[in-house]
Amino acid sequence: MSNIHHIETITEMYKMLPKAEVQHPLVAVVDFSSYQEQINSGMKMTLGFYSIMFKNFCINKMKYGQQMYDFQEGSLICMAPRQLITLDEPSEPIINATGWGLFFHPDLIRGTTLGKAIKEYSFFSYETSEALHLSEKEKNVLTGIIQKIDTELQENIDKHSQTLIVSNIELLLNYCTRYYERQFITRKHVNKDLLTKVEAVLLNYMQSPELSEKGLPTVKYLADQVNLSPNYLSDLLKKETGMNAQDRIHYYLIEEAKDLLLNSDLSISELAYKLGFAYPQYFSRLFKAKTGILPLDYRHKNF
C-alpha cells in the first residue's frame, strides 16, 4: 500500500489546515468554507478517526472505495477509521465551497454509551454513492448540533466537556439514523428495482452449480452483485422486507431445500452438500431453526 498517507490523530489533521489551531486533541469541527485551497491532487489517505462531512469537502473530488464523490447537492457522508480516501483533480473550479466536517477519535468515546453503540450506526460503512441527501430542514437540524459542539470546543475544557460533546455527537448520529430511514422510504421506487435485482441474483445462484461448488453466497457477494455496500444492502432489505441480507439468503436457501426434499430422492447429506454446506449437521440445524422441524421430518410430513 505505497503512497498512502495515514493521519492517525486530530492533531495531525490540523497540520494540514493552514492557520488552524488545535482546540481539542480528540475532536474537531472544520468549516470547509475557510479552506478553499486544493490539497495535493491524487493524495491517498486513511484516517485514524471517525469523519462526518457535509457538502463540499474541498475543491477536490474525493474517491472513497471505488466511487467518485464531489459533495454536491447537500449530501452527507460518514466514514469509520481506516477507510481509504483518494483526492482527485476537480472537473472544474468550485467557488465558495461550503459545508462542515466533524472528526472524532475513538478515544473520545471509549468507555461511554456511544462507544459501546458506535458499531450499530451501520451507515459508517456505506459507500459514497449511498450518501445521505438532506432536506433544508434536516440540514438545519444537523448544522445546529454541529454549532453546539463547536461552541463547546471554544470553551475552556473542564470535567463536563467530554460528556457534553459526546452526547451531542450521539444526538447527531441518531438524527442521521432517522434521516436514513426516511431516505429508504422516499426512494422506494429505486429500492424496488434493487430488490428485484437481489431476488434475481439469489434465485440464479441457488439454482446454479456455484451453490454446491462455492458454498452459500455471502452478504458481500450479494452486495457486490448489485453495487451496494453490505451494510447498506442489509439495512435496505430490513426496511423493505423485515429481513436483513443474511436472513434473506437463508430464506431462499430454505425454500430451495424444501423443493429438493419433496422433489428428489437425495439423502439429507447429499442434499446438504448440494446446497453448499460442508457439514450436513449444519444444514439440519439451520433448517430446524428456520422451520421448527428437521429436514427428514419435513419430507415425511409432506409426502
Tens-place pLDDT, residues 137-191? 899 999 999 999 999 998 888 888 999 999 999 999 999 999 988 887 777 666 6
- Helical axes 161-186 vs 188-206, angle rounded to 10°: 80
Where in the sequence of the chain do the CATH 1.10.10.60 domains occur? Answer: 189-302
Average pLDDT in the 267-289 region?
92
* Range from 30-34, 82-86, 231-235 that averages highest in pLDDT: 231-235
Condensed to tens digits (0 to 9), the pLDDT of residues 123-134 reads: 888 876 677 888
Q: pLDDT band for position 290 (50/70/90)? A: very high
Is-contact 42 138, C-beta < 8 A? no
User: Who wins on pLDDT, 246 or 37?
Assistant: 246
- Long-range contacts, 223-231 (Cβ 8 Å, 24+): 225/197, 225/198, 225/201, 226/194, 226/197, 226/198, 226/201, 227/129, 228/127, 228/130, 228/194, 229/65, 229/125, 229/126, 229/127, 229/130, 230/125, 231/122, 231/123, 231/125, 231/126
Domain with CATH 2.60.120 in the chain: 4-185
pLDDT digits (tens, 9 = 90+) for 25-34: 999 998 877 7
The confidence score (pLDDT) of residue 63 equals 43
How does the average pLDDT of the chain come out, rounded? 82
Across residues 237-255, what is the average pLDDT? 88
> Does residue 242 surpass a pLDDT of 80?
yes
Close Cβ partners of 31 (under 8 Å, ≥ 6 residues apart): 100
Computed from CA positions of residues 79, 85, 90, 91, in that sequence, does the dihedral angle turn out positive or negative? negative
Question: Between residues 146 and 96, which one has the greater pLDDT?
Answer: 146
All three cell numbers of 267: 439423502
pLDDT of residue 36: 56
- More confident site: 219 or 242: 219
Q: Is the pLDDT of residue 289 over 90?
A: yes
Length in residues, the chain: 303
Q: Which CATH number fits the domain 4-185, given the four candidates 2.60.120, 1.20.1070, 2.40.50, 1.10.287?
A: 2.60.120
The fourth-level CATH superfamily of domain 189-302 is Homeodomain-like (1.10.10.60)
Q: Which three cell numbers stand for residue 158?
A: 473542564
